[in-house]
């Protein structure tokens, strides 16, 4: 008997949703990869913070100092969660997209940036307008990813790569890619939007890391960019305004040198920072290896259930056995992905995602070169075996109905 560890609870786990026939069923949420529900620990932290806060950094009053302390502690909690180096900068942003745009604005002009064509758009598009970009084709295997990147990486360059695919959940060989980049005098920036909620992070080989609070069981509006300070310190501020500037004269500005000040102009999203750090603390306290192991057992149950659905084809970059986080995408013969997702919601109270997952090149390639949509089911801390059984039963029913029609 496998005993499951006590998992941190998510808010709204028992919410009921209406079906098209007017009845109500408990919601089965399979869209954690888009945005995960808030942890109760995060809600509690926000409830505690909400009545009493004031401006950070510049106020002399008691509440201001208290809020500043909480904000700066949040930075340290996130730093520990990412296993960042002591001298890494930790900059609060809006989300991973914002973090990648911030980093792109700081990477010195003339840097060669290497990206895989298959990247999530948050990780592809920020680089295209300002930098010289080498776009690599979707790799045939993790080893091929390392070899093709190694071929083009050169001193002073930057490799930008996603740690876990938001489409297939597959894990990219980050350690090997980092070693290849560093051996050639280049750096590596990792999009951990999908890795952070599912696996321990380790920045010992990674120069920059980004993730989003809303995929990490905190509400929307907060993310982080963590990494080496030099490029961040030397770049123009991402936003210009108070906090980013040290001295302003008529016609002159001296910008703050600490990246955390230089790139966090304006009043920051303090509650967002407290939320993301409360999520980090709760996941750390629960033990992230144990959470990952529990999720793997649940995910194996999901994939084995899906494999029994007639006509269902699971999509993957590198084959069914490549390691992945709790995300699976598929198509079902005879079903339009959007109608299927809509029917799962309307008739069964099950929420999946359909579309191109902000990774058009990858989805096209997974569909054999044609433009089209797919269905994605992703799990997280509120997912139960009963939810999975409902999804598999619903898909089996729907495919049987189609086959009989
Ligand atoms: N990268 C990956 C791998 C993602 O899955 C996402 C969100 N779908 C992003 C980046 C962008 O995250 P956000 O929308 O929070 O900026």
What pLDDT does residue 3 have? 57
| 158-215 pLDDT tens trace | 999 999 999 999 999 999 999 999 999 999 999 999 999 999 999 999 999 999 999 9
Across the range 378-400, mean pLDDT stands at 97
What pLDDT does residue 59 have? 82
Is 194's C-beta closer than 6 angstroms to any atom of ligand 1? yes
Residue 42 phi/psi, 5-degree rounding, is: -75, -40
Q: What is the dihedral sign for C-alpha 122, 328, 206, 141?
A: negative
Provide the pLDDT confidence category of residue 58 given band limits of 50, 70 and 90.
confident
Q: Retrieve residue 144's tokens.
A: 């091929």
Provide the pLDDT confidence category of residue 4 given band limits of 50, 70 and 90.
low
Helix, strand, coil percentages, rounded to 5, for the chain = 40, 20, 40
Going by the DSSP 8-state scheme, the letter that residue 324 receives in this structure is B
Domains and CATH numbers, the chain: 16-38+287-404 (3.90.1150.10), 42-286 (3.40.640.10)
Cβ pair 218, 278 in contact under 8 A: yes
Give the whole-number percent of the chain exceeding pLDDT 90.
93
Is 168's C-beta closer than 6 angstroms to any atom of ligand 1? no
Across the range 242-269, mean pLDDT stands at 94
Across the range 328-335, mean pLDDT stands at 96
The total number of residues written for the chain in this structure: 405
- Cα separation, 199 vs 206, in Å, equals 15
Is 120's C-beta closer than 6 angstroms to any atom of ligand 1? yes
| 262-312 pLDDT tens trace | 999 999 999 999 999 999 999 999 999 999 999 999 999 999 999 999 999
Which residue out of 94, 101, 166 has the highest number of ligand 1 atoms within 8 Å of its CB and is therefore the one to mutate?
166
- Residue/partner pairs of 5-8 with CB below 8 Å, 24 or more apart: 5/286, 5/287, 5/290, 5/291, 5/294, 6/286, 7/286, 7/291, 7/294, 7/381, 8/39, 8/40, 8/41, 8/217, 8/282, 8/283, 8/285, 8/286, 8/291, 8/381
What pLDDT does residue 129 have? 86
Q: Report CA(400)–ligand 1 centroid distance (Å).
A: 35
- Cα separation, 295 vs 303, in Å, equals 12
More confident residue, 364 or 403: 364
Q: From the CB of residue 57, how many other CB atoms can be counted at a distance below 10 Å? A: 16
Q: Give the chain's mean pLDDT.
A: 96
- Cα separation, 23 vs 396, in Å, equals 21
pTM (2 d.p.): 0.96
- Using the atom order of ligand 1, give the atom closest to the CA of residue 97: 16
Q: From the CB of residue 296, how many other CB atoms can be counted at a distance below 10 Å? A: 15
**Residue 329's closest CA among 121, 165, 168?**
168
- Cα separation, 41 vs 251, in Å, equals 48
Provide the pLDDT confidence category of residue 317 given band limits of 50, 70 and 90.
very high
Enter the ipTM. Answer: 0.99
185 burial class (0-12, 13-18, 19+ CB within 10 angstroms)? exposed
Provide the pLDDT confidence category of residue 87 given band limits of 50, 70 and 90.
very high
What pLDDT does residue 5 have? 63
Provide the pLDDT confidence category of residue 2 given band limits of 50, 70 and 90.
low
User: Does residue 151 surpass a pLDDT of 60?
Assistant: yes
Is 383's C-beta closer than 6 angstroms to any atom of ligand 1? no
User: Does residue 257 surpass a pLDDT of 70?
Assistant: yes
- Cα separation, 60 vs 49, in Å, equals 19
């Amino acid at each position: 008997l496998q005993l499951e560890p006590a998992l941190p609870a998510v808010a709204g786990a028992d919410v009921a949703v209406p079906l098209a026939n007017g009845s109500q069923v408990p919601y089965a949420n399979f869209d954690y990869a888009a945005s995960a529900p808030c942890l109760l620990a995060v809600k509690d932290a926000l409830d505690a913070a909400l009545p009493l806060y004031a401006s950070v950094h510049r106020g002399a009053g008691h509440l201001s100092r208290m809020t500043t302390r909480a904000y700066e502690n949040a930075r340290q909690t996130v730093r520990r969660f990412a296993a960042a180096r002591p001298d890494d900068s930790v900059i609060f942003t809006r989300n991973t997209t914002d973090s990648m745009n911030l980093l792109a604005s700081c990477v010195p002009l003339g840097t060669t940036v290497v990206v895989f064509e298959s990247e999530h758009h948050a990780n592809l598009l920020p680089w295209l307008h300002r930098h010289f970009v080498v776009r690599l084709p979707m790799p045939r295997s993790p080893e091929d990813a390392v070899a093709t990147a190694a071929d083009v990486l050169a001193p002073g360059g930057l490799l930008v790569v996603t740690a876990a695919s938001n489409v297939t959940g597959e894990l990219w060989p980050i350690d090997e890619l980092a070693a290849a980049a560093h051996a050639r005098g280049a750096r590596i920036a990792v999009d951990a939007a999908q890795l952070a909620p599912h696996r321990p992070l380790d920045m010992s080989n990674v120069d920059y890391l980004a993730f989003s609070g809303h995929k990490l069981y905190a509400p929307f509006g907060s993310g982080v960019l963590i990494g080496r300070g030099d490029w961040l310190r030397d770049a123009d501020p991402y936003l210009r305004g108070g906090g980013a500037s040290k001295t302003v004269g008529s016609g002159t500005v001296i910008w703050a040198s600490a990246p955390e000040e230089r790139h966090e102009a304006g009043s920051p999203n303090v509650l967002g920072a407290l939320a993301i750090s409360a999520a980090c603390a709760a996941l750390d306290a629960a033990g992230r290896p144990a959470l990952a192991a529990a999720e793997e057992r649940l995910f194996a149950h999901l994939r084995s259930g899906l494999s029994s659905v007639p006509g269902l084809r699971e999509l993957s970059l590198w084959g069914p056995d490549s390691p992945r986080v709790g995300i699976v995408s598929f198509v079902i013969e005879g079903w339009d992905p959007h109608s299927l997702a809509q029917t799962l919601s309307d008739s069964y109270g099950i929420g999946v995602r359909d579309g191109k997952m902000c990774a058009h090149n990858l989805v096209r390639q997974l569909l054999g070169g044609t433009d089209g949509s797919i269905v994605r089911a992703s799990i997280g801390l509120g997912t139960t075996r009963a939810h999975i059984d409902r999804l598999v039963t619903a898909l089996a029913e729907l495919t049987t109905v189609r086959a009989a029609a």
